[in-house]
Structure 1
Amino acid sequence: MEAEYTLYEQQMARQLKRWEIRQQITPNFVERASKSVQTGINNLIPDKVHKTITATVKGIIQTTLFGINYIPAQEPLYDVSLADRDAKAEELLSLYKKIAAAEGAGAGAGGILLGLADFPILLGIKLKFLFELAHVYGYSTKDYRERLFILYVFQLAFSSPKKKTELLKTIKNWHVISDSFPPAAAYLDQVDWQQLQQEYRDTIDFRKMLQLIPGIGAVVGAWANFGLLEELGVAGMNCFRLRRLQDKVNTGSKEQ
């Protein structure tokens, strides 16, 4: 359907295809070895600790998805070109990378206790960014289904390649799948929260562990948080680009 796209949209469509392929590439030896080590460590952690971390992640995400505090005051952007949306998204990402880096530097300089406190704070920053990003691309987070989409985007950004393939399939078919969703509360009961938090921790563990080392914590904290927001930004922008291009074909949108 590229004929219906502007030149910029055609370029983005090609870029998205390359990005999709990268999401599904089989992990290399180093990545597989790293995953094996992380799995071994996770197996040594008592179930009680896993349950505590799972409850923390679940509580933060559910509070965010059901609450109104994260819904941006600014209305979603309508009748805006994809190029303009991308430009605004880049500005938003730049701002949030600075916010996350500053928070990480402060937490890293504060030692182990502040370093541990950084975990829920950074999670909140990431989710707030995704809420605002949704509005940049014209999707209102007042609709609970858009909040669920944010949950899928978040998981895609911080999951193993095997899990990414499954999540990407859902994201690409969102316009069909979302229509059959049950109420938000019922849907969230179906989420495997332990798997979600474990995939998330496995993705960020190494960088965040370095943040706890005395003397380099501030520098590493800023570097780690900046990089994690960059990864989330790339995933988020590409997921919303996919939807905008699909919407244009499915509805005959004339965004210019």
Structure 2
Amino acid sequence: MNEYELTVYEEVEEWKRKIMRRSGMMNRLSKKAQGKINEFIPEKVHEVMTESIKAMVKATLFGSQVTTNMDQARGMTLAERDDLARKKISTFQKTAIIEGAGTGAGGILLGLADFPLLLTIKMKYLFETAAVYGFDTKNYDERLFILHVFQLAFSSDEIRKNTLYEIENWETRKQALVEMDWRQFQQEYRDYIDLVKMLQLVPGIGAFVGAYANNNLLKHLGETAMNAFRLRILQKAPEL
């Protein structure tokens, strides 16, 4: 590893330690309450929601793949890739802020439209970041990796730790990971964002809440994606 890669290695290790920390009490109580609510939701509703999210994500994956320039960072150093990745985060944060403010100000009907719109922004961002770090999303296993990065960012403690393990050992684990657990995927994501998205529907504060929440969600996803891709690059770097 060169000097910059050693610095990145320390940053990635600190990020992994943060991922492994237990969530705060409020987050744990919120997750417990949402778990109880999910128990009262009929199984048929869970099935419909799972299939809806699955179809929505797969459509978004296809669209993002078509519109992403896979050669945009060809020949760049890791430092240059990191710089471009940070610029991507900033750009997508601004897009998410505008989207959140617009749907938040529009009341319940536009608020409901926020879910698929924000999901599209997040997935497009992940495709762009994969391209920045030189991973070809035309390959199925790279699209599957993107979904694991998404799940790592938006899940509870136990699922987050299990997903980090899969990402750390991707080259040996990807052959066994044929398909996502879509039920788990949609429920973890929905539970993660439910509270703030409900506040976005409140008249008078919806626009502010939507803009603020979307900015933070993209920032969090950006940190997760950058470090997940950097981790894979560092695993291939020759040791000193």
Task: Give the secondary structure class of the aligned counterpart of 2:238.
Answer: helix
1:249 equivalent to 2:225? Answer no
The letter of the residue matching 2:224 is A
Tell me the number of residue pairs that the alignment of Structure 1 and Structure 2 aligns. 240
Residue pair 1:71, 1:142 contacting (<8 A) in 2 also? no
Q: Is the 8 A contact 1:65 1:144 kept in 2?
A: no
Q: CA deviation at 1:71?
A: 4.6
Instruction: Point out where structure 1 has 5 or more consecutive residues left out of the alignment.
Output: none
Alpha-carbon contact 1:211-1:217 (below 8 Å) kept:
yes
Aligned 8 A contact 1:104 1:225 in 2: yes
Offset at 1:111? 0.6
Map of 2:194 onto structure 1: 205
Q: Is the 1:75–1:135 Cα contact (8 Å) retained in structure 2? A: yes
Partner of 2:101: 105
Give the drift of 1:76: 5.0
Q: Deviations over 1:3-56 (max 9, x none)?
A: xx1212111111111111111112333222121111122223333332232122
Structure 2: how far apart are the matches of 1:193 and 1:128?
Answer: 19
Deviation at 1:215, TM superposition (A): 0.8
Match of 2:4 among 8, 23, 36: 8
One-letter code aligned to 1:104:
G
| Aligned mates of 1:204, 1:30 — CA distance in 2 | 14
Q: CA RMSD in A?
A: 1.9
Out of 132, 135, 138, the residue aligned to residue 136 of structure 1 is 132
TM-score (norm 2): 0.93
| Structure 1 Cα separation of the partners of residues 66 and 151 of structure 2 | 18
User: What is the distance in 1 between the residues matched to 2:25 and 2:69?
Assistant: 46
Question: 1:46-77: CA deviations, max 9, x gaps?
Answer: 33332232122100122234557545134252
The equivalent of 1:18 in structure 2 is 14
Report the more deviating stretch, 21-30 or 237-246: 21-30
Pick the aligned partner of 1:221 from 210, 217, 225.
210
Aligned mates of 1:108, 1:154 — CA distance in 2: 23
- Determine the structure 2 residue equivalent to 1:37: 33
Q: Call closer, same or farther: CA 1:133–1:63 in 2, change over 3 Å.
A: same
Q: How does 1:53-92 map to 2 (within 5 A)?
A: 53-66=49-62, 69-75=65-71, 77-92=73-88
Runs (4+) off by over 4 Å: 66-71
Letter in 1 for 2:71: E
Give the corresponding residue for 2:172. Answer: 176
Q: Name structure 2 gaps, 5 residues minimum.
A: none
Q: Indicate the residue corresponding to 2:162 in structure 1.
A: 166
Distance 2:52 2:235 in 1: 35
Q: Cα deviation per residue 1:112-147 (whole Å; 9 max; x = unaligned)?
A: 111111101111110010001000001111112111
Quote the sequence identity (%). 48
Aligned partners of 1:30, 1:203: CA distance in 2, in Å? Answer: 12
Change (3 A) 1:98 1:70: farther
Distance between the aligned counterparts of 1:80 and 1:213, measured in 2?
46
Give the AA of the match of 1:216.
I
TM-score of the two chains, using structure 1 as the length reference: 0.87
